[in-house]
Structure 1
Amino acid sequence: MAERQLPLARELRPRFASLIVGANDTLRAAFAIERVTAALDRAHGALSADGAVVLTACLPDPGRMLGLPGPLARPLARRMHAVNTVVHAVSARYQGVHLHLADHRWVAERASWSVDRLHPSERGHRLLARGFHTALAAAGLPVGPPPPLTLDGPPPTRAGSAVWMATRGTRWVADRCTDLLPGLLALALKECRHGVAGSGRLLDAAAERATRTALAALTEPGGAALGKTAGTVKGAATMAG
């Protein structure tokens, strides 16, 4: 995806560029934090070198958002934690504008999300825009008035959401069953095996080790490994809402 999108984005010579990754990546069987880290670093570095202000955000746990059972929710939370750690570190590496999104209270509100629970609703998009406005202002960049939170129209009704799921949503679920389901089931089976053996902490340790290794592969201009300080990286701004 990055190989296709990054050249197109650079051709536009943007002043601001949003680089939001995580949700779909954590659901895929081919997930590898090493590849995510390298792709994110390459994209952030290129856009920053072009003079763009790059906006990043840490995302909420997809298992919690989708209401998945523990054997599925835990490995997805582990993956999202790894991705968020990398996003924090890479944003700090290039002095981007980062938004702490994952732990804000509006993230848990149903009205902030579309029916698929993975994409923001109009209200969610407005809250995101308000948060980035705050982050840009905190970074000393010129901004206008904050985006309003007033919706353009009424939110979708339950009936409307049901119609979407019965039409477009059914196709989305069918596609995901072939794209994502086998990998998710394998994750759940592995989680259950470790749960029975009481060795779930080994999975946590392996994920943390892989994240440190991925970040250590990125070096600062002076040669210092980025991974040595990744655990203490803090984002640039918080989000009201």
Structure 2
Amino acid sequence: MSMLGAGPARATERRPAPGEPVRFVALGDSLTEGVGDPVGDGWRGWAAVLAHSLAPEGAGVEFTNLAFSGALASELTVRQLPAALALRPRLAAVVVGGNDTLRSGFDIRAATLELDATLGELSGHGARLLTACLPDPGTLLRLPAPLARPLARRMRAVNTVVHALTARHRALHLHIADLPWCQERRLLSVDRLHPSAEGHHLIARRFHELLAGTDRPLGAGHRLGPPPVAEPAEPPPGRAADLWWMATQGTRWVAARSTDLLPGLLALAASEGAARVRGATGRHDEQMARAAAQALASLG
């Protein structure tokens, strides 16, 4: 895009030493943390599944998942980026933005600056980047139109920014938003916001396909391993297991966020209803698109 100019310079590729393991770090929120794909007392997730396929048998992979539930774009820069740089990764996944859209103080320009800083630092230190655009949470949750429309507007703005920054930093991009989440319910977990185990495996396979389709996917001297399996080895949980998860964990997750999300969502719905009465919904869409474009233009 012309507004981005030539973009930041990349570091000279560092040739790995013989036998050096593939270092892979994942930055992001609950999607990358692995919520929806339980293993033991924790989460596994698409990034961990992908990590197992980043090198052929006998080669080492060092995987670190820095993502945590609820993370905003600003928290990647402040809390996750320093730890990621210290690990000197060959591959870094940066997937964030959904939580930003769910905050009453949503600021597309601030999110753009934070995400650009995170991607720039990682690529500047020689990491190959993975990015993704995310599905609209209002659609996944099947919210009524007054709630769903403003969330969709914000998500479009975030995805516009992510697409542009992907080109700016020469990342590999996966259109997670285009995967059939609503058409194939089994891909979503019980909370309808996060992938199920099968959904996480699908994301891992698609990222592996992207890497396999490029020359020297992890730099000189590295080869990929076989792709992740088509489906999880374990069967998906039944309805009883879903209900038990919601009763023991899901309810706490919803309650913890309701104090922050619900007032903001209600305010958005009221604003959207007033705009619809005035016939100003289209104008709100234009304003958000313009804000995203201005945020990108400010990067120079």
TM range (shorter): 0.7 to 0.9
Q: TM-score, normalised by structure 2?
A: 0.71
Q: TM-score, normalised by structure 1?
A: 0.87
The residue that corresponds to 1:239 in the other structure is none
The CA deviation string for residues 181-236 of structure 1, in whole angstroms up to 9 with x for no partner, is 111111111000011111111110110110011000112xxxxxxxxxxxxxxxxx
Give runs of aligned pairs for residues 91-130 of structure 1, distance below 5 A: 91-106=166-181, 108-130=183-205
Q: Distance in 2 between matches of 1:107 and 1:20?
A: 20
The CA deviation string for residues 112-156 of structure 1, in whole angstroms up to 9 with x for no partner, is 121112221111111111101111122221422211113121111
Q: Distance in 2 between matches of 1:96 and 1:105?
A: 23
2:140 and 2:181 in contact (8 A); partners too: no
The residue that corresponds to 1:151 in the other structure is 232
Q: Distance in 2 between matches of 1:24 and 1:146?
A: 30
Q: Where in structure 2 are there 5+ consecutive unaligned residues?
A: 1-74, 218-222
Which residue of 129, 139, 147 maps to 1:72? 147
Which residue of 193, 197, 201 maps to 2:278? 197
| Cα offset, 1:37, TM superposition | 0.4
Which residue of 257, 263, 276 maps to 1:176? 257
| Cα offset, 1:106, TM superposition | 4.8
1:23 and 1:118 in contact (8 A); partners too: no
The CA deviation string for residues 21-43 of structure 1, in whole angstroms up to 9 with x for no partner, is 12212111121101110011000
1:63 matched to 2:138? The reply is yes
1:166 matched to 2:241? The reply is no
1:5 matched to 2:69? The reply is no
Moved more, 98-107 or 171-180: 98-107
What is the aligned-residue RMSD (CA, Å)? 1.2
1:60 and 1:107 in contact (8 A); partners too: no
Indicate the structure with greater strand content.
Answer: 2
Residue type matched to 1:154 in 2?
P
The CA deviation string for residues 48-91 of structure 1, in whole angstroms up to 9 with x for no partner, is 01111110011111110011000010001001100111001001
Identity of aligned residues (%): 57
Secondary structure of the 2:131 match is strand
1:213 matched to 2:288? The reply is no
Q: Distance in 2 between matches of 1:113 and 1:16?
A: 26
Q: Where in structure 1 are there 5+ consecutive unaligned residues?
A: 220-241
Q: Which runs of 4+ in 1 moved over 2 A?
A: 104-108
| Cα offset, 1:107, TM superposition | 5.7
Indicate the structure with greater helix content.
Answer: 1
Cα distance change of structure 1 residues 97 and 80 upon mapping to structure 2, 3 Å threshold: same
